[in-house]
Amino acid sequence: MVEQLPLALPESRSLGTVNINAQCTFRLEGEHRVVVVSGFPVHHYSDRDAVAEAYAMVFLVDSGFATQVEVARAFRRTERTIRRQQQRYAEGGMAALATRSGWRPGRRRLPTKRIRLIERLQAQGLSNCEIARRMGVTENAVRKQVGPAGPEPARQAPLPLGPSADPATPAPSPPAPEPSTAAGASATPDEVGPRGSSRRAATSPEEPGPTSFDTDPANRTLDRLLACCGVLDAAAPVVGDAQAVLGAGVLFAVPALVASGIFPVAHTVYGEIGPAFDGLRTTLLVLLLMALWRIKRSEALKEHDPARLGRVLGLDRTPEVKTLRGKLSRLASVHRADRLGAELARLRVRQRGQLMGFLYVDGHVRVYHGQHEIPKAHVARMRLSMPATTDYWVNDQSGDPLFVVTAAANAGLVKMLPAILREVRGLLGDRRVTVVFDRGGFSPKLFQALVHERFDVLTYRKGKTRRIREQRFVERRKKVNGRWGQYHLCDQPVRFLKGTLRLRQVTRLGEGGHQTAVLTSRWDLRDIEVAYRMFERWRQENFFTYRREEYLLDALTDYQLEPMIPPEPCPTPSAGRSMARSALPARSWASCRRPTGTRPSGTPNTVGPPCGASRSPMAKSASRSGPRRNVSPTSWRSGARSPDASRSNR
């Protein structure tokens, strides 16, 4: 067998060819460069075109034809250069691949040794222009190194969170401790006066703001020492210069918090909470910013860096959990939360009085998961009856809260509405207000009383109503408060309480033919505006949902037990039936009290249940022994047959 000789293939590699990998080659032909992929030229450029060469390297890597290592070895570059060119091309395209003129960003234009000379010349009072002339550089080079010419920048002033003194006046020296202050470091709750100001505080709410004797925001040792000695009532926040501070966006809300009036109102109600580093303003600011940070509980502060949050607050660190809980317990011990809410409500009325024409009232059930026994309430979102407390919120027509009232023993809306409206009358005076609520407050007698007290009502009609023919509905469309509303409505008058109460009923026809009846005492509004105001009640429902999910509305920071007025005894079912029978005519009541076994005249002599029904053993024994004696309605128990049952069986 003849052995085959090896086939001699011509050498394909020339002196001007560089193999990038098995698929790609890079050919050099005079001043031209060609990139070949799988035998096809894909890119060619001149050796003087640096931008085109950079694009060729980026093209090979981004297209997946070669790796960064292979391209860097073929083009005699480093891998870092390839990555930098990829980033530039991704950010700015071809124009970003051009060689940048000037100094590299971040490189000092002056030697490090000459920086000290510039600082010495600047300390002598020379301007940047004179320093640049002496050193033989431009003024911009000096300015970029040491900043603009001028005196040393002053320390940032403390951030005022309330009425403060003139910032131009120098900080006062630490006052000497009084004998009463030296005796105890903190005031007791009894020291808080009846008008919300402590004995240490002035009687006027317009007091100077807190002060600070420290200059370093990260070191507040002197202020803490003075507060520990009882000299400093509250330390002022000191904000320093910093970059990339996490959570600093909440500072945009500080002007809105100051404009809300929470700080002067709280000072009027509580006064000062004694000598402490974290005063009343600082405590309130921490709680408010915690809500913006979505820190829903005080215990959750343990999960965050205290120094980082303290930098935003103007403190060296945030208060500890036990310190914050102690402040809350101290404020709660004086029992002035109701007064604080009332003062804030009056302030909101003065600021937003134009939004108080329509007030939305609704209850929110807070479920209690503790071990104590409290009254139960129906939780609509869970469709269960659970231990809970009921809070009734009053919101303005934009959905913002005005005040809140906690119901005693989970009282219903019909019972709580008169008390709530008395609070509204105290806030708004003789102004006529339209109260919007749901079916839980439906009561014609209550409507009549509210109209007599110069309140207008707007609510759903409860119970079954006569269906209205669809031909009577008219399509309405109107723009209210910048929003378009379109409904099919039927407007008609209705009467209650034997014609003594005349109201207006606006019925909306839904897409599926469902009819929703709305009652109101406002005859001056158009029917579409009545429907719009009623259905805008969902703003309050959305408010509850948002507050419960984002701010943990149902959570309890702390709780204590206090005696509750015992509720009225609930009648048993048998007593309820006896009270219902007491309202029957005398003839019907006599027939109900007829002993078992007797029959009215004109009826067949049949005793016992109808055919197919079963009787209890007690009923069988009664039928065997003849007529049995009558039993009091309140003494029926399980297993015995009530007079109503024997009557129905007959």
Residue 132, Cβ neighbours under 10 Å: how many?
18
Q: At what angle do helices 139-146 and 128-135 cross, to 10 degrees?
A: 120
**193-202, 395-404, 451-460: least confidently modelled range:** 193-202
User: Phi, psi at residue 176, to the nearest 5°?
Assistant: -70, 140
For position 169, what pLDDT does the model report? 40
The pLDDT of residue 109 is 58
Q: Give kind and range of the element (H or E) at residue 143.
A: helix 139-146
Taken as a whole, the chain contains a residue count of 650
Residue range 29-57: mean pLDDT, rounded:
87
How high does pLDDT run on average in the chain? 77
- Residue of 91 and 345 predicted with greater confidence: 345
Distance, in Å, from the CA atom of 596 to the CA atom of 629, rounded to the nearest integer, reads 8
Query: DSSP state, 336?
Result: -
At 600 the pLDDT is 42
* Amino acid present at 428: L
Give the model confidence (pLDDT) of 541-560 as tens digits: 888 888 888 888 887 766 66
| 480 Rama class: left (phi>0) / alpha (psi -120 to 50) / beta | beta
Task: Please give the pLDDT value at position 153.
Answer: 47
**pLDDT per residue over 159-179, tens digit each?**
554 444 444 444 434 444 443
pLDDT at 380: 84
pLDDT at 110: 61
- Give CA 374 to chain center in angstroms: 27
Start-to-end Cα distance in the chain: 122
Gap between the Cα atoms of 590 and 607, Å rounded: 18
State both tokens at 646.
């024997």
Per DSSP, helices labelled H in 272-379 are 280-292, 306-313, 321-333, 337-351
Instruction: Decide which of 95 and 201 is more confident.
Output: 95
**Assigned token pair, 518:** 């709305």
Question: What tokens were used for 607?
Answer: 């005793």
pLDDT at 593: 43
pTM beyond cutoff 0.85: no
Asked if 314 contacts 237 with a C-beta cutoff of 8 angstroms, the reply is yes
Q: What is the pLDDT of residues 230-255, one digit of tens each?
A: 888 888 888 888 888 888 999 999 99
More confident residue, 608 or 559: 559
Q: What is the per-residue pLDDT for 611?
A: 39
Segment 380-400 mean pLDDT: 89
**Residue 268, burial from CB neighbour count under 10 angstroms (0-12, 13-18, 19+):** middle
Given a cut of 80, whether residue 295 has pLDDT beyond it is: yes
Report the relative pairing of strands 433-436 and 474-480 from DSSP bridges.
unpaired
Question: Which of the listed ranges 17-26, 218-227, 511-520, 577-586 does the model predict with the highest average pLDDT?
Answer: 511-520
Distance, in Å, from the CA atom of 421 to the CA atom of 455, rounded to the nearest integer, reads: 9
Confidence band for 565, pLDDT divided at 50, 70 and 90: low
**Where is average pLDDT lowest: 105-109, 224-228, 398-402, 497-501?**
105-109
Tell which residue, 267, 279, 261, 275, has the closest CA to residue 203: 267
The Cα-based distances of 342 to 96, 254, 266, 404, 443 in angstroms read 63, 23, 11, 10, 28
Which distant-in-sequence residues (6+ apart) come within 8 Å of 33 by Cβ? 26, 27, 44, 45, 46, 47, 53, 56
Percent of the residues in the chain that have a pLDDT greater than 70, as a whole number: 71
d(CA 17, CA 34): 10
Amino acid symbol at 574:
S
In angstroms and rounded to an integer, the radius of gyration of the C-alpha atoms of the chain is 42
Region 442-464: what's the mean pLDDT? 94
Structure tokens at 427: 């806030």
> Residue 499: what are its φ and ψ, rounded to 5°?
85, 0
Distance, in Å, from the CA atom of 25 to the CA atom of 18, rounded to the nearest integer, reads: 6
Query: Position of tokens 């005005």?
Result: 402
Range name among 152-161, 349-358, 420-429, 633-642 with the lowest pLDDT average: 633-642
Task: Look up residue 275 and give its amino acid.
Answer: P
H-helix segments, 385-526: 413-428, 444-452
Instruction: Check whether 417 has a pLDDT greater than 70.
Output: yes
Task: Tally helices (H) and strands (E) across the chain.
Answer: 22, 14
d(CA 298, CA 320): 9
Return the DSSP state at 198: B
Q: Is the dihedral of CA 184, 188, 193, 196 positive or negative?
A: positive
